[in-house]
Each structure stands twice: as structure tokens, then as C-alpha cells.
């Protein structure tokens, strides 16, 4: 294994950009518009409940990340709390598979937008592949280069949502065409059923944790980035959502595949349409760049601990980046798009099935916090989850609820559950075989924290 190690060279802005960068994606902008379209102002209550759920997880991730400030992130947290096999399943199903399926669909969006809005006649696939190659180069160039790009993309994206949202609320631009306050439906029975949709507006804030070995003062900057990042995302999307229902009839938002574009065009005409198109592109770029930063570092941590092939533990001597993981993720994204999988209806089922496994990872992380509190009551915790164990218990209950209500259509839900089970079973088989016959270690015996930390020396 290479002697090259990750270095602490970036600060809070990069941490915040990473925390925000994955959350605000093109797909979350669609979910935002459709949520407001279905329920109007009632969706705000769903957003607040979902925000609290994600804060519960941020508290858990903050505690674990500061106990074990390592690139392995979720793998190390679950391995210390529950053992090797649960840790391997948690990372592969909830992060690598999510990147392959959801990430492939996400990166296809800017290719389509560029092709239709700015370069008619060219295949969207050309732009999609070019974007992937550019993001690979950015991440290969080092965490400082990645951090600078992420700060710029996330900053423009969030500021634009605020500006467009406030412009809409103030009535700047086009004439208001939607009945805003007087005739807005208020069916409060929709609050709970729409929490599952609202969760997608915040999920992924923990992607800052794999940068723990490269962020200065991780014990302060990681929890702060997640807590502030979630609030920024909530406020920016709240403002834009409220502005959207002021300008666009609810049924139009609910039935549109691009409700955020409809709203911006209604607010500011052609300027708004092009502006939100750029925001949508930046949202996808920031999301994919964060995936390319986070997942390879998780794989780096797993490889150092022998859970996946050792090649993923090597760093570029000059840029200190996990080049094999970045190359792997980039190639997979290109291949999935070349197959055309992102252009067929079934990709929605794949995305939600992968997301289903994401919640399993969240549950395992919450259980790990509880297990480690019992096993290591006196271990240094620079950041402690407030009101323990209430956030962890509520997170587990709420995640189970969301998993049980993954999609309103029973037939689609059945397909989602089928693929999710396939993902989990195949990953569990790999974890079992690799741990039993390659590593030859106990599958469910927790790894001592001291042993995990020594692997970084």
C-alpha cells in the first residue's frame, strides 16, 4: 500500500459546500415543485418534519465523525458499532449503488438541459460524457481544487434560489397568474404522506464526513457544516417553493416533470427560464462532484481495512486523491449513460430502490451511535448528539416509516422493494464471502475504535 496519506488542507467553506452540494440536485428541485403542487402551503409542514428527521441524522453523523475523523466514514462508524458485514452492506448498497443509479440519472439531466436550451441538434449524451470527464479531472486535481469548484457551484446555486424566490414573492417581473392566499387548498391530511417526498429535499448532508481527514478542525467544521447546511437548504427551497405557487397553478406544478423551470419562466419570462436552467445544471454538477469526492474516500477507507480490493487504497502522490475510486465512479457513470438506462422509465424504480437502501444505512448508523455510547461511555466525543438517545430512536422510527411508504402506487412500490432486496442480498453475499474467506475475520464482531484509528498511522 502507498505511504501517501490524506492531508488537512481545506476549511469550513469546503465542508459547507460539500454538505449543500449533494442535497440541492435537479431531482430535488423537481420534488420541491411537485410537493408544493400537490399540497400547496401544507407541504411546508412536511418539509419541516423531514428537516427534523435529517437533523436527527446530522447529530448522529456529527458525533461519529468527530469520534473517528476518518475517510472511511459510514464504513468505520458501522464497523465499530455493529461489525464488518453490516458496515460493508451499508456502504455498498447505500452509497456505491446510489451513485451508480441515482448519480447516473442526475448527471444525464445537465446534458439534456444543455442540448435543449443551449445547443440544439447535439446529442445530450455528448454533453453528459463531457461533464463526467470534467468532474473526474476536478476531483483528480486534489481536494483544494474540488473544494474551490464546489464552493462556487453551491454558492451560485443557493444564491440564485434565494434571488428568484424573493423576486417571485415580491411580485417582480411577470404578472402574477396563480391564486396565492385566498383560494389555496389546505388539506392537512397530506402532511404525513408527503414527508417521504420531502425527505429527498435534504438527504445526503453526511457526504461531508468522508472528507474528515482533509478538513481542518473536523471536530468543529463537520457538525457545523451539516447543521448550517440543512438550514440553508430549507430556507432557500422554502422561499423558491412559496414563490412558485404564487405564479403557477398547483395542478401545473404537480404534473410537470420540470416544475422549477415552469415557475422561473412564469416569474421572469425567458430570463427566468435560462437562469433556472443554469441553476439546474449547477445543481447536478455539484451533486455529481460531491459523489465523486465522497464515495471514493469511503472506498479508500474500506480498502485500507481490507474490505474491498487494495487498489482503492492508493493515493495519487502529487494530489493526494483516491484516483482508483474516482476513476471507477466516473467509468461506471459513463457506462450506465451509454447503455441508455437513464432514459427509460425503469430508472425511477432503480433510484428509489437504491434510496431505500440509503435508509437502511441511516438506521445502522443510528444503531451504531447507541452501541458505541454503551460500549465506550468515556471515549472522547468532541461533538455529542444532543438529547441522546431521542434523535437516534426517532430517526430509526421515521426512516422505517419512509421505507414503508416509498411510493404511493402499490405495483411500483412492489418493484422497488424487489430491486432493493436484490441489491441487499447480493451485497450481503459479497460481504459474507469476502469477510469469511478473504479477510477471514468475524463477520459481526465490532472492530475496536483503537484498531480502526491505528490503520491511519
What DSSP assignment string belongs to 396-424? HHHHHHHHHTS-SSHHHHHHHHHHHHHHH
For residues 318 and 296, give the distance between their C-alpha atoms in angstroms, rounded to a whole number: 17
The CATH number fitting domain 12-454, selected from 3.40.50.920, 3.60.10.10, 1.25.40.10, 1.20.1740.10: 1.20.1740.10
Tell me, what's the pLDDT at 442?
86
> pLDDT at position 392, please?
97
Give the CA count within 13 Å in the CB-facing half-sphere of 383.
23
Identify the pLDDT of residue 235.
Answer: 96
Q: What is the pLDDT of residue 4?
A: 62
Cβ–Cβ < 8 Å for 36, 417: no
Q: Render pLDDT for 92-148 as a digit per residue (tens, 0 to 9).
A: 887 887 777 778 877 887 787 777 777 766 788 888 899 999 999 988 988 777 778
| Residue found under cell 438517545 | 389
Q: How does 119-154 read in b/e, with b if 16+ C-beta sit within 10 Å?
A: eeeeebbebbbebbeebbebbbbbbeebbbbbbebb
Question: Which regions in the chain score pLDDT beneath 70?
Answer: 1-6, 72, 120-121, 175-185, 341-348, 350-351, 455-457
Q: What is the pLDDT of residues 309-331, one digit of tens each?
A: 999 999 988 888 999 999 999 99
Distances (CA, A) of 244 to 78, 141, 455: 41, 39, 50
Give phi and psi for 10, each to the nearest 5: -120, 155
Give the tens place of pLDDT for each residue, 293-305: 888 988 988 898 8
User: Of the candidates 227, 239, 232, which has an alpha carbon nearest to the alpha carbon of residue 65?
Assistant: 227
Q: Alpha-carbon distance 390 to 387, whole Å? A: 6
Q: Scanning the structure block, which residue is given the C-alpha cell 410537493?
A: 35
**pLDDT for the residue 231:** 96
Which pLDDT score is estimated for 56? 96
pTM of the model: 0.86
A 10 A CB-CB count for 10 gives 23
Amino acid at each position: 500500500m502507498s505511504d501517501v496519506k490524506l492531508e488537512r488542507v481545506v476549511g469550513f467553506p469546503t465542508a459547507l459546500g460539500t454538505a449543500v452540494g449533494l442535497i440541492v440536485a435537479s431531482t430535488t428541485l423537481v420534488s420541491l415543485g411537485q410537493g408544493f403542487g400537490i399540497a400547496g402551503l401544507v407541504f411546508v409542514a412536511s418539509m419541516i418534519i423531514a428537516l427534523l428527521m435529517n437533523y436527527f441524522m446530522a447529530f448522529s453523523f456529527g458525533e461519529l465523525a468527530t469520534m473517528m475523523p476518518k475517510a472511511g466514514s459510514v464504513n468505520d462508524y458501522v464497523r465499530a458499532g455493529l461489525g464488518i458485514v453490516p458496515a460493508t452492506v451499508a456502504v455498498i448498497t447505500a452509497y456505491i449503488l446510489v451513485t451508480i443509479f441515482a448519480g447516473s440519472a442526475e448527471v444525464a439531466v445537465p446534458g439534456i438541459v444543455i442540448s435543449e436550451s443551449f445547443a440544439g441538434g447535439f446529442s445530450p449524451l455528448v454533453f453528459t460524457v463531457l461533464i463526467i470527464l470534467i468532474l473526474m479531472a476536478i476531483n483528480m486535481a486534489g481536494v483544494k481544487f474540488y473544494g474551490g469548484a464546489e464552493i462556487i457551484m453551491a454558492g451560485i446555486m443557493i444564491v440564485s434560489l434565494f434571488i428568484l424566490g424573493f423576486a417571485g414573492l415580491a411580485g417582480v417581473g411577470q404578472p402574477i397568474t396563480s391564486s396565492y392566499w385566498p383560494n389555496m387548498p389546505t388539506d392537512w391530511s397530506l402532511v404525513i404522506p408527503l414527508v417521504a417526498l420531502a425527505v429527498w429535499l435534504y438527504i445526503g448532508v453526511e457526504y461531508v464526513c468522508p472528507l474528515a481527514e482533509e478538513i481542518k478542525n473536523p471536530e468543529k467544521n463537520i457538525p457545523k457544516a451539516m447543521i448550517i447546511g440543512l438550514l440553508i437548504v430549507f430556507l432557500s427551497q422554502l422561499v423558491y417553493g412559496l414563490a412558485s405557487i404564487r405564479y403557477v397553478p398547483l395542478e401545473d406544478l404537480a404534473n410537470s416533470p420540470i416544475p422549477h423551470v415552469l415557475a422561473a419562466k412564469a416569474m421572469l419570462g425567458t430570463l427566468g427560464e435560462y437562469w433556472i436552467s443554469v441553476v439546474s445544471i449547477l445543481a447536478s454538477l455539484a451533486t455529481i462532484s460531491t459523489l465523486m469526492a465522497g464515495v471514493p474516500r469511503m472506498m479508500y477507507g474500506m480498502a485500507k481495512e481490507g474490505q474491498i480490493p487494495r487498489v482503492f487504497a492508493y493515493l495519487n502522490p502529487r494530489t493526494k486523491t483516491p484516483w482508483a475510486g474516482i476513476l471507477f465512479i466516473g467509468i461506471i457513470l459513463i457506462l450506465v449513460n451509454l447503455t441508455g438506462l437513464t432514459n427509460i422509465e425503469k430508472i425511477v424504480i432503480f433510484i428509489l430502490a437504491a434510496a431505500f437502501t440509503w435508509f437502511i444505512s441511516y438506521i445502522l448508523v443510528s444503531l451504531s451511535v447507541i452501541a458505541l455510547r454503551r460500549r465506550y461511555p468515556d471515549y472522547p466525543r468532541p461533538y455529542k448528539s444532543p438529547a441522546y438517545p431521542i434523535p437516534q430512536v426517532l430517526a430509526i422510527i421515521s426512516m422505517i416509516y419512509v421505507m414503508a411508504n416509498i411510493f404511493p402506487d402499490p405495483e411500483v412500490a412492489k418493484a422497488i422493494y424487489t430491486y432493493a432486496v436484490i441489491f441487499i442480498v447480493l451485497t450481503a453475499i459479497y460481504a459474507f464471502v469476502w469477510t469469511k474467506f478473504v479477510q477471514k475475520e468475524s463477520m459481526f464482531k465490532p472492530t475496536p475504535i483503537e484498531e480502526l484509528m491505528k490503520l491511519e498511522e
